Structure 1
Amino acid sequence: MAQEFKLELDKRTELGNQTAKQMRDKGKIPGIFYSATHDAVPFVIDRRHLHDALQSMSRVYAVTVGEEKLHVIFKEIQYHPVTEEIVHVDLFGVSLKDTITLSIPVVLDGEAAGVKTGGIMTQNITELEISCPATKVPEAVHLDVEEMEVGDSVHVYDLSIEDGEILTNPDITVVSVQAPKEEIIEEPELEEEELEGEEGEGVEGEEIPAEKGEGEGAEKPSGDSEKEEGASK
């Protein structure tokens, strides 16, 4: 199981979009906690502390709501569409006795043999949705890619986790190594006028073939005919 990370939350009493914006300007991120057995509790969390929590390898977090110690998972994280900063988080309470559904990262280990020979590696998904006991959530799914050659691919059905089930579509390609695309250099097309000009122009010094009826092989007027014309005069 991933190491447990304790979240430090402050209860939030003032609600509304304007108040939430003021909190974010002060480095606080608004959020809400809820569970099957608890009413919704609005809170704020320090932005840096939140980033530390998300960068930790923990997936189930410990919190204190009032005087009660609980465990939660991040149910939803909302990001600003332009700055991509976190603007709101939802925490969902879970029991360590429960089987829970959540997403965990896919981590690629090593450098693929196919990449070393010029191939291009593409990772299509970075997370897997899984179901497992709350006490046995893995930090991540690690995939060793060192032996992957050009043309190789790994699908979700090739992966597995201990004490749990992968819920992501098994036919999805997780990672693949492909040959680099060859650059096709197109020759510039000559305009029609240029082509016609080239066909009509002879090469300097080259003898132009005679047209039919001229030159060697053509019939010449006979001398007798000329004499007959002179006699008739």
Structure 2
Amino acid sequence: MQTIATLKATVRNTQGTRAARKLRQQGLVPAIIYGHKQANVAVAVSRHDIDHIVRVQHARMITLDVNGQQETVLIREVQWDVFGREIIHVDFERKSAAEKVRVVVPIELRNVPKQSGGAVLDQPLHTVHVECPLGNIPEAIRVDITHLSVGHPIHVKDLVVPADVKILESPEAVVVQLKVPGAAETAAAPPAEAAPTAPEVIKKERKAEEPEEK
């Protein structure tokens, strides 16, 4: 389960580009709280604290302390500057811990075997979309590939997750596999058919072209 972090926020009465720029100069990040059919609330949070929560704790659900009032929220969206270095805005969505949400969870490979026989590790899926209670979002889905072998990939249906976590990707989607480069090309190609000595005459009336679908 993901870490439940606590973040302090203060209500802000000024909005707009100029006000947001002034907040950032003070080491704050503008944010908005919405959801549960309640009024939107514009707040400001510490850039240092939200950066730590997002980058280090990798938290999605947090307890937001707004002027002494606490509520559970989901970090729904984080906006970064053009260089992808600094957080410039955050969207918080009100949720209850038991409420189901859809989020993206990373896949972590464990016990990666040493490559042998020319086999190369191929991981088509690095994340999966899941539906689960907000209070039980996995930090990551860990996959032990100690016994992974060529021709026996691990599929989504093979992933082990808690009973209340539902993976939304296709069960047959390949998560990770061992591939031998060029194996497909080395397979014997079927012999080419001999070309006919004369064009074949097809005695059949041509059907009228169907109109294109719009």
TM-score, shorter chain, exceeding 0.5: yes
CA gap 1:179/1:78 in 2 versus in 1, 3 angstroms: farther
Larger radius of gyration: 1
Tell me which amino acid in the other structure corresponds to 1:2: Q
Contact 1:4 1:58 in 2 (8 A): yes
Aligned twin of 2:176: 175
**Is 2:162 the counterpart of 1:157?**
no
Residue by residue over 1:94-135, the C-alpha shift from the partner in whole angstroms, topping out at 9 and shown as x without a partner, is: 11232222222221212234x355543343333322122233
Aligned twin of 2:144: 144
Aligned twin of 2:128: 128
Q: Secondary structure at the match of 2:171?
A: coil
Tell me the TM-score normalized by structure 1.
0.65
1:1-233 equivalences in 2 (<5 Å): 1-54=1-54, 55-56=56-57, 58-113=59-114, 115=115, 118-162=118-162, 163-180=164-181
**Separation (CA, whole Å) in 1 of partners of 2:117 and 2:45:** 47
Tell me which amino acid in the other structure corresponds to 1:109: R
Q: Return the offset for 1:68.
A: 2.9
**Separation (CA, whole Å) in 1 of partners of 2:133 and 2:84:** 35
- Deviation larger for 79-88 or 66-75: 79-88
Contact 1:112 1:149 in 2 (8 A): no
Q: Secondary structure at the match of 1:24?
A: helix
CA gap 1:144/1:37 in 2 versus in 1, 3 angstroms: same
Residue by residue over 1:201-230, the C-alpha shift from the partner in whole angstroms, topping out at 9 and shown as x without a partner, is: xxxxxxxxxxxxxxxxxxxxxxxxxxxxxx
CA gap 1:24/1:117 in 2 versus in 1, 3 angstroms: farther
**Separation (CA, whole Å) in 1 of partners of 2:116 and 2:12:** 53
Sequence identity percentage: 25
Q: Secondary structure at the match of 2:20?
A: helix
Contact 1:131 1:165 in 2 (8 A): yes
CA gap 1:181/1:31 in 2 versus in 1, 3 angstroms: farther
**Separation (CA, whole Å) in 2 of partners of 1:107 and 1:116:** 21
Q: Secondary structure at the match of 2:53?
A: helix
Tell me the TM-score normalized by structure 2.
0.70
**Separation (CA, whole Å) in 2 of partners of 1:11 and 1:60:** 20
Q: Return the offset for 1:67.
A: 4.2
Tell me which amino acid in the other structure corresponds to 1:159: L
**Separation (CA, whole Å) in 1 of partners of 2:161 and 2:130:** 9
Contact 2:149 2:177 in 1 (8 A): no
Gaps in structure 1 of 5+ consecutive residues: 183-233
Contact 2:156 2:171 in 1 (8 A): yes
Structure 1 or 2: larger strand share? 2
Structure 1 or 2: larger helix share? 1
Q: Secondary structure at the match of 1:121?
A: strand
CA gap 1:149/1:81 in 2 versus in 1, 3 angstroms: farther
Aligned twin of 1:195: none
Contact 1:33 1:41 in 2 (8 A): yes
